[in-house]
A and B are shown apart, each in its own frame.
Chain A
């Protein structure tokens, strides 16, 4: 019975695992993604020189562009979009933990509320 149970678990895992995998992108897709990333980087640099009206809007646009580049590289070049869900969960857990912890840390230290300079050096 125990052997059957183990086999059932193994085959469930295999089915789930097989369901996680898709085919990896082709070389043509990699080139397309590269040119998209290049274009986004060019827009970022352009936004540095020709800012959108309002500092916050410009910063938000730069943040969104960087985030989109991050997601595309992780998803396609690192194959996380096509790989096992376990790997996705593992990485995203670390990422979310880092974002939450450090946003809380920066809020505590007054980073987003425009504290005046406090150090002379």
Chain B
């Protein structure tokens, strides 16, 4: 009578530990894989319509030194994010909050830069409806900006959880998962910065 129950129990245990990875982490990597398809669609659409607008402002409108500084901030935020993860893994909660706040601040500076850039472009006559270049540029960089903003909200939520003592070392995987999302946002920008801004 006990044998089937044992088998069932063992099968379940084997299923739960077959990969040795938590479901949440597996789901986040699957989500990031699917996000590659989303941003791939936006980047390829930008490339498809690049150079096909004959009216209105185009690539000459870019301010490369300004965007380079923004890119540096996002790159720096990936470092602070990974330092936050290292801090929680060794149980250093004040450092965890410091690095999380630093990451959120750098992300906010990036978004502030993007808002400034969008405003400047709009004043110079480029809007989402002015030409094909404007449509594809604003949709691509806008989608990325929304992702960064969501990331900032999640980072600040982690800070609040840590302040309330609800983020012990045992839950460091939560920081790792948010970190994976944040780094993904950074790698998407690495591609956008090169493909959209630097390649003529």
Q: Does B14 contact A (CB under 8 A)?
A: yes
**Cross-chain contact B37 with A77 (CB below 8 angstroms):** no
0/1 interface trace, chain A 7-34, chain B, CB 8 Å (1 if under): 1011001100110000010010011011
B-facing residues in A72-94 (Cβ within 8 Å):
73-74, 77-79, 84, 86-87, 90-91, 93-94
Chain A interface helix/strand/loop/mixed: helix
Complex contact A77–B82 (CB within 8 A): yes
Interface of B is mostly: helix
Which B48-103 residues have a C-beta within 8 angstroms of A? 48-49, 51-56, 64, 68, 71-72, 75-76, 78-79, 81-83, 86
15 A-B pairs whose Cβ atoms sit less than 8 Å apart in the complex: A3-B6, A9-B14, A13-B20, A27-B83, A33-B79, A34-B75, A34-B76, A73-B78, A73-B190, A78-B180, A79-B176, A84-B19, A87-B25, A98-B39, A118-B52
Residues in A lying within 8 Å of B, measured CB to CB: 2-3, 6-7, 9-10, 13-14, 17-18, 24, 27, 30-31, 33-34, 37-38, 41, 44-45, 47-49, 55, 59, 62-63, 65-66, 69-70, 73-74, 77-79, 84, 86-87, 90-91, 93-95, 97-99, 101-102, 105-106, 109, 111, 115, 117-121
